[in-house]
Amino acid sequence: MKDRKELEVLFHKHGYTDFKWVESGEVVVSQWVRTKCMFGCGNYGHNATCPPNVPSVAEVRQLFAEYCAVVIFHFAHTVDKPEDRHAWTRGVNQELLKLERALFLAGHYKAFLLCCDSCYLCTDCSETRGTCKNPRSARPSPESMAIDVFATVHKVGFPIEVLTEYSQAMNRYAFLLVE
């Protein structure tokens, strides 16, 4: 892999300054996360980038084994209304996709983004990968890929907690896999 400092220059060029590097093996992938998706998330089975339209937990572990590093990007934000979260994360994810593309063009052909929330590129998701309206841009979230975001970001000292009110600042995280 090229020097991380070179990549950090690219991150800064795209406006990202709040990030940390971890080795791919430090990302916590857990079956319980997938189970919570199945039994607790309204997007399960209704989003082209959510289970069951994503790799199995075992396949996710194998995927991470094929990468050497992961960049975790931190985003803190407060919304006035619950529905405002989706518009905000849509904008964040669209910009992150530009960064993923920039890494690809810089020779990191394996660069792969896990969005900071469900995809939300479209206002109404097609529900399957086969009918996705943006198959080149749609990306899964870390949670849909069975990543224990809480445990992983705690390891590197990022803030995260369970929120009880929408007036509280959200701490969202996107993961960028880099070879």
Contact present, 114 and 27 (Cβ < 8 Å): no
Q: Could you read off the pLDDT of 10-50 as tens digits, one per residue?
A: 999 999 999 999 999 999 999 999 999 999 888 888 887 88
CB 115 within 8 A of CB 86: no
Q: Looking at the DSSP assignment, which residues form a beta bridge with residue 174? A: 73
What are the extents of the domains in the chain? 4-178
pLDDT in tens, 53-100: 899 999 999 999 999 999 999 999 998 888 888 888 889 999 999 999
Please give the mean pLDDT across all residues of the chain.
Answer: 91
- At residue 67, the pLDDT reads 96
Question: Is the predicted pLDDT of residue 9 greater than 70, yes or no?
Answer: yes
The dihedral of CA 49, 55, 58, 61: what is its sign?
negative
Angle at 133 between CA 127 and CA 137, to 5 degrees: 100
pTM for the whole structure: 0.92
Name the pLDDT band for 125 (thresholds 50, 70, 90). confident
Long-range contacts of 42-48 (CB under 8 A, 24+ apart): 43/118, 43/125, 43/144, 45/127, 46/125, 46/127, 47/118, 47/119, 47/125, 47/127, 47/144, 48/119, 48/125, 48/126, 48/127, 48/128, 48/129, 48/131, 48/132, 48/135, 48/138
User: What is the band of 114 on the pLDDT scale with cuts at 50, 70, 90?
Assistant: very high
The per-residue pLDDT for range 158-170, each reduced to its tens digit, is: 999 998 888 888 9
Tell me, what's the pLDDT at 155?
95
Residue 61: the pLDDT is: 97
